[in-house]
Amino acid sequence: MAAMSLRNILLTGAMLCALAGAPGARAQILEVGVDASPVGLDPHLITAFPSFQVVSGTIYEGLTAIDKDLRVQPGLAASWTVSPDGKIYVFKLRPGMHFHDGSPVEAADVVASIHRVQSKDMASPMASRVGTVAQATAIDATTVELKLSEPTAPLLISIATIAIVPRGFENDKASLQKAPVGTGPFKFKEWQPNGFIALTKFDGYWRAGAPKLDGVKFNIVPESATRQVGISSGQFSMLANIDAATAMQLKGKPNVRLAETLELAYSLIGMNTSKPPFDNAKVREALNYALNRQEIIAAALFGAGVPGGPLSPALKDWAADTSSFPCYKYDPAKAMALLKEAGVPMPVVITMNVLPRQDIKDIAQVAQAQLNKAGFKVELKNQELGQFIQDWRNSAFDSFASTNGGSTDPDDYFYRTFRTGGSTNVFKYSNPEVDQLLDSARQMPDQAERKKAYTKVQAILACQGPIAHIAYGQIFSALRSNVAGFDQIANRSLVTLSDASIAK
Amino acid sequence: MKKRSGLLLFAVLAVLVPALLAVGADFVAPYDPVGQDIIARLRGPMATHWLGTDQLGRDVLSRILYGSRASLLVAAGSVGSALVLGGGLGLLAAYYRGWLERIVMRLMDILFAFPVMLLAIGVVAVLGPGAVTAAIAIAVVYTPIFARLLRGPALVICDADFVAGARAAGATDARILLIHVLPNLMGVILVQTSLLLSSAILVEASLSFLGLGTQPPNPSLGLMLAEGRNVLLLSPWGALFAGVAILVLAFGLNLLGDALRDRLDPRLREL
Amino acid sequence: MIRIVTARLIDLAFVLIGISLLVFCMIRFIPGDAVAIMLGANTEVTPDRVAALRSQLGLDQPLLLQYGRWAWAALHGDLGTSLWTGRPVVDEITLHIWPTLQLTILALALGAGLSIPAGCLMARLRGGTADTLLRLGSVAGLTIPSFWLGIVMILALATLAPSLQLLGYVPFFDDPLGNIARLLLPAICLALPILANLSRLVRSALLEALGQDYIRTARAKGLGEALVLYRHALANAMIPFVTSLGIMTGYLLGGAIVVEQVFAIPGLGRLILGAISERNYPLLQAVTLLVTAGFVMVNFAVDLLYRVIDPRLRG
């Protein structure tokens, strides 16, 4: 044992010597402070946000891209056509693109990437996003054809999240986790776990003039106060995706400015509809009346957020206004009356699992106090992440307080969450009317018709659904005042780093 | 000698005053420790809230008093159980010697070799977080410490003539251990219990700091520190005062152990 | 001597096996397994994908078989690969051990180095008000929560020296000065209790020695008070000093979890915490085994050292 650690020390010494020669001076490296270390960098295998933050849009790109208004834009594909029945998509790739390893980006790579995501062996958590793709073919070097088993309205949005990797990794689960190879503006340089991840400018990037930076270094600093010290002192030029509490503390600091936007993610209270008391729709409605969303926002989000319905107000094309939901008006008396009507013994004793994140813990504590005033008796269970996920997956909860990432298309979220038997319907919610609406909406090519269906769905879900949507928060990034060109995006992607620059 | 009793008196007061305040939290605390007042949140010390309010507008002083009570309860429960279990094992090992001693002490070595926090985190991870599991975790961590601490002096006493005499007179093992050996160990026990209570306060605080101890919304000193650090640069008071409270509790108990050690037996100093 | 060493070695092996078994079982009893966490919350996963992942990772096998396989490989120097990144566990440890080692050495050097003069000072001032004050100070040093101290230091840094850029970790060979400057605050944080503990030890050992015959002789020979203290009495303090040092080294190597967290140092403590929350079984097994084994070995070495320092124990 002693011999082994000695060897390690020597090894470390050797590696450190090798690193010592790295260039440092003059280059425009953006020092970013982030809170958590990625656990892997394979774009088809990662599930955690710290990983996405580092690779999405920076190292990896998809055929399509999502802009800051959350609309679909051309990505690696310059253009595409859709057959009239909505079942055949043909994508035309931009000419002359290269991967970071120097090989050209060809249709065969796109096909290989889609197969990789669909492969059973890979067990990619993104498989369902291309679940309806029955056949992917490379027509020629720059043309890809996708044949769908059924019309899938959200395909262009889903496909934006499927990173294109070089062919040859279809059976390789390990390599890309450690050393990603993509098409994005930055290429992977070095990863010191729990220390930093360094990316460097990709000279062969397809978009002329981008990126402006010579590199980006993500420094992993778990303690919020420490990150704040880092940006105040100028050691970091950016704190990416910080919450309201951190942003409030940085407001007005010299040489620091905040970029912000309304987030796609939202906080929620989920209810298990397969057992009492939340099997009763009246009890779920009562919970909604008992919540004072404005107070929760003021307390846990420092006022930086808006009450939200089932869809984020950031999705301007789809979201119904919360004023149309009667239960969003705080009314504890009405909540009590509903509980009485439901005939459940009062106070209604429930447990609430809490996701281990400070803003969610605060939301849960405020919600607990509010619910306890309206006929409930809530016991909070603050869980460790692994336990929380396990209970979530097994539907082992009365209720839980958590946050969801949010989707850019209503179908992606609604279908898997609220459809009977949906893959993330851990609430065991089943409502034939909702099922019917969701089934038909995903096959409607007409936007206006789809919107009508989803408005109806939102009305049903808002007050009696298995999720009490609480609030959509503002998401912030703090920047040194000499950093220009970065835009905060609602889905937390750092894709606009390609246009960022540091003034001397 | 006079100086020493002065120190002891000071130590006793340093333990008693905060302990009484904590135990009497129901009567002393000015506010409900979980009562929220969102509008008056993150305030510094002022006339209505002597130590300010936290991120949900709860009174920091009241939370500290109730939190101290929780900390003391966990510390007392865990050190008490560890004393009975670990002390008992150490005593048996010293009395019976041979294989029993070797096996017991090696088992204790296994537990002892774990870094305190790692073992505690492991136990809490298995049993699920909460004040009771925090107490169990600390008890597990301290059991080998008591066993090792008591075995040494117990070995000396078991070798003494009066023990051999009692045995010759036909006393049972249990009687010898309880009547002849144990009373002679009281000094060591008193000193070590006091010292370990002090560090149990610290371990409990770090466990709840990591979210593994007392569960919110119930107040706990470590938890207040953890919650307060998120708003540290906005309003550092909650985190600062919670830390001071931990320090005060642990300080008094440690000083008491130290003073007792001086008082009871100068030879015990090296232990 | 050889007999004793052999007996201790057998015990050592027993303890190491016990530790590895305990760690192995403990982390698998933690609810929520690696696969659940790997798949994340709110992601779409079908049961057969979960099953496939479990069997790929070998988590569907009986526990004892898993342990046997792991132990056999470990005996051959193969500690496995990290569940998440596929990197060899040895590499992960190599990357993280260096900052922790440095922090440990710095903290020990600060704490132990200052404790000798501090202890001597306390011994010389014995009985006075200054002694009592120093003693209260040392009790405070022992009981100050290091995680709190770390946060207070960050707060102080933010208010007193907002332009100081001293966060994180740079390898020693990249920037020796920067390396030490960055480790200084966390090292002070960790050194304080060490200083408090050891200085008290030095003080009481000195006082005890001062009462003894050979010191009186030395004093009678006309040696100065200072010389008497440092030369003769200090040697007497070495045994408890070395014991405490051994135990502390062990604990420090275990990673000062919270201090590393606060000061953003990529050391073993962070690795352990991450491995627990990711349920990274092979990594956690290896790191815990390494840390506890390190602790046991250091104490074993201290035990042997005793016998070298103190001839009475040599038998």
- What are the mean pLDDT values of chain B's consecutive 10-residue runs (271 residues total)? 72 94 92 89 90 93 96 96 95 91 88 79 81 92 92 87 88 88 89 93 89 87 91 90 95 92 60 34
Distance CA(B131)–CA(A453), nearest Å, equals 49
Return the residue in B41, B55, B208, B224 with the most chain A beta carbons within 10 A, the one to mutate for interface testing.
B55
Distance CA(B114)–CA(A110), nearest Å, equals 50
Among the listed residues B233, C217, C150, C118, the one whose alpha carbon sits nearest the alpha carbon of residue A249: B233
Q: What is the pLDDT of residue C311?
A: 59
C162 touches chain A (CB under 8 A): yes
Give residue A236's identity as a one-letter amino acid code: F
Return the residue in A227, A249, A388 with the most chain B beta carbons within 10 A, the one to mutate for interface testing.
A249
The residue written with tokens 């394979």 in the block is A42
C272 touches chain B (CB under 8 A): yes
Distance CA(B170)–CA(B172), nearest Å, equals 6
- Number of C-beta neighbours around residue A449 at 10 A: 12
Strands A467-480 and A88-93: unpaired
Classify each residue of A480-491 as buried b or exposed e, where b means 16 or more C-beta atoms within 10 Å of its C-beta: beebebbebbbb
**Sequence-separated (6 or more) residues with CB below 8 Å from residue B241:** B51, B52, B60, B61, B64
Phi and psi at residue A384, to the nearest 5°: -80, 150
Strand pairing partners for A350? A378
For A291-357, where are the alpha helices, taking DSSP H only?
A: 293-300, 332-342
Strands A238-242 and A29-34: parallel
A428: tokens are 């065991």
Distances (CA, A) of A49 to A36, A68, B42: 9, 18, 30
Return the residue in A242, A251, A362, A363 with the most chain B beta carbons within 10 A, the one to mutate for interface testing.
A362
Tell me if A362 and B55 make a contact (CB, 8 A cut-off). Answer: yes
The residues in C 46-105 lying below 8 A from B, measured between CB atoms, are none
Q: What is the pLDDT of residue C278?
A: 81
Q: What is the pLDDT of residue A5?
A: 43
C5: tokens are 């060493």
Distance CA(A50)–CA(C275), nearest Å, equals 16
Chain A positions in Cβ-Cβ contact with residue C274 (cut-off 8 Å): 37, 39, 194
Chain A positions in Cβ-Cβ contact with residue B213 (cut-off 8 Å): none
Q: What is the pLDDT of residue B110?
A: 86
Look at residue A468 and give its three-state secondary structure: strand
3-state secondary structure A119-178: CCCCCCCCHHHHCCEEEEEEEECCEEEEEECCCCCCHHHHHHCCCCCCCCCCCCCCHHHH
Distance CA(A380)–CA(A391), nearest Å, equals 14
Predicted confidence band of residue A149 (pLDDT cuts 50, 70, 90): very high
Q: What is the pLDDT of residue A176?
A: 92
Tell me if C18 and B110 make a contact (CB, 8 A cut-off). Answer: yes
Chain C positions in Cβ-Cβ contact with residue B106 (cut-off 8 Å): 11, 14-15, 18
Distance CA(C201)–CA(B256), nearest Å, equals 17
HSE-CB for B244 with a 13 A CA cutoff? 11
Chain C positions in Cβ-Cβ contact with residue B102 (cut-off 8 Å): 11
What's the gap in Å between the CA of A371 and the closest CA on chain C? 25
Strand pairing partners for A478? A239, A258
Distance CA(C205)–CA(C120), nearest Å, equals 10
The answer, yes or no, to whether residue A24 has pLDDT greater than 60, is no
Chain B positions in Cβ-Cβ contact with residue A299 (cut-off 8 Å): 36, 38, 41, 55-57
The residues in B 43-82 lying below 8 A from A, measured between CB atoms, are 55-57
> What single-letter DSSP state applies at residue A320?
P
Inter-chain Cβ pairs, chain B and chain C, closer than 8 A: 111
Q: Is residue B207 within 8 Å of B215, Cβ to Cβ?
A: no
From A22, A123, A193, residue closest to C266, measured CB to CB: A193
Distance CA(A408)–CA(B90), nearest Å, equals 64
Tell me if C18 and B210 make a contact (CB, 8 A cut-off). Answer: no
From A121, A125, A174, residue closest to C86, measured CB to CB: A174
Q: What is the pLDDT of residue A18?
A: 39
Distance CA(A465)–CA(A272), nearest Å, equals 10
* Residue A221, H or E segment: none
Distance CA(A87)–CA(A93), nearest Å, equals 19
pLDDT for A150-198, tens place per residue? 888 889 999 999 999 999 999 888 889 889 999 999 999 999 888 999 9
What is the distance, to the nearest Å, from the Cα of residue A361 to the centroid of all Cα atoms in its chain? Answer: 20
Q: Is residue A49 within 8 Å of A232, Cβ to Cβ?
A: no
From B38, B217, B233, residue closest to A380, measured CB to CB: B217
ipTM of the complex: 0.84
- Number of C-beta neighbours around residue B270 at 10 A: 12
Q: What is the pLDDT of residue C255?
A: 53
Q: What is the pLDDT of residue C5?
A: 79
Tell me if C162 and A11 make a contact (CB, 8 A cut-off). Answer: no
Look at residue A461 and give its three-state secondary structure: helix
* Size of chain C in residues: 315
Q: Is the Cα torsion angle C263, C266, C268, C270 positive or negative in sign?
A: positive
Q: What is the pLDDT of residue A12?
A: 44
pLDDT for B195-213, tens place per residue? 999 999 999 998 888 788 8
List per-residue pLDDT tens for chain C, 315 residues long: 677 778 878 888 888 888 888 888 877 777 777 777 777 766 666 666 677 777 777 788 888 888 888 888 888 888 888 887 778 899 889 889 899 989 999 999 999 999 988 888 888 887 778 888 888 998 998 899 888 898 899 888 888 888 888 788 888 888 888 888 889 999 999 999 899 988 888 888 887 777 766 666 766 776 666 666 666 667 767 777 887 887 777 667 655 777 888 899 999 888 888 888 788 888 888 888 888 887 788 777 877 777 676 655 544
Distance CA(A223)–CA(A452), nearest Å, equals 45
Q: What is the pLDDT of residue B6?
A: 82
pLDDT for A250-285, tens place per residue? 998 999 999 999 988 899 999 999 999 999 999 999
Tell me if A385 and C31 make a contact (CB, 8 A cut-off). Answer: no
CA nearest to A178 within chain C: C85
Distance CA(B261)–CA(B266), nearest Å, equals 7
3-state secondary structure chain C: CHHHHHHHHHHHHHHHHHHHHHHHHHHHHCCCCHHHHHHCCCCCCCHHHHHHHHHHCCCCCCHHHHHHHHHHHHHCCCCCECCCCCCEHHHHHHHHHHHHHHHHHHHHHHHHHHHHHHHHHHHHCCCCHHHHHHHHHHHHHHHCCHHHHHHHHHHHHHHHCCCCCCCCCCCCCCCHHHHHHHHHHHHHHHHHHHHHHHHHHHHHHHHHHHCCHHHHHHHHCCCCHHHHHHHHHHHHHHHHHHHHHHHHHHHHHCCCHHHHHHCCCCCHHHHHHHHHHHCCHHHHHHHHHHHHHHHHHHHHHHHHHHHHHCHHHHC
Phi and psi at residue A325, to the nearest 5°: -100, 110
Chain A positions in Cβ-Cβ contact with residue B229 (cut-off 8 Å): 223-225
Distance CA(A364)–CA(A352), nearest Å, equals 8
What's the gap in Å between the CA of A353 and the closest CA on chain B? 12
HSE-CB for A74 with a 13 A CA cutoff? 13
Distances (CA, A) of A58 to A66, A262, C314: 13, 22, 65
Q: Is residue C141 within 8 Å of C199, Cβ to Cβ?
A: no
Distance CA(A186)–CA(B12), nearest Å, equals 64
**Sequence-separated (6 or more) residues with CB below 8 Å from residue C110:** C187, C188, C191, C194, C195
Predicted confidence band of residue A26 (pLDDT cuts 50, 70, 90): low
3-state secondary structure A419-447: CCCCCCCCCCCCCHHHHHHHHHHCCCCCH
- Number of C-beta neighbours around residue A331 at 10 A: 18
Neighbours of chain A (3+ CB pairs under 8 A): B, C
From B55, B125, B216, residue closest to A380, measured CB to CB: B216
Chain B positions in Cβ-Cβ contact with residue A223 (cut-off 8 Å): 229
A419: tokens are 């459809």
CA nearest to C278 within chain A: A386
Tell me if B211 and A298 make a contact (CB, 8 A cut-off). Answer: no
Distance CA(B224)–CA(B216), nearest Å, equals 9
CA nearest to C293 within chain A: A1
The answer, yes or no, to whether residue A17 has pLDDT greater than 50, is no
The residue written with tokens 């990150």 in the block is A227
CA nearest to A34 within chain C: C264
Among the listed residues B29, B11, B5, the one whose alpha carbon sits nearest the alpha carbon of residue B197: B11
The residues on B that touch C, with CB distances below 8 Å, are 3, 7, 102, 106-107, 109-110, 113-118, 121-123, 125-126, 128, 198-199, 202, 205-206, 209-210, 225, 229, 232-233, 236, 239-240, 242-243, 246-247, 250-251, 254-255, 258, 269-270
The residues in B 106-145 lying below 8 A from A, measured between CB atoms, are 125, 128-129
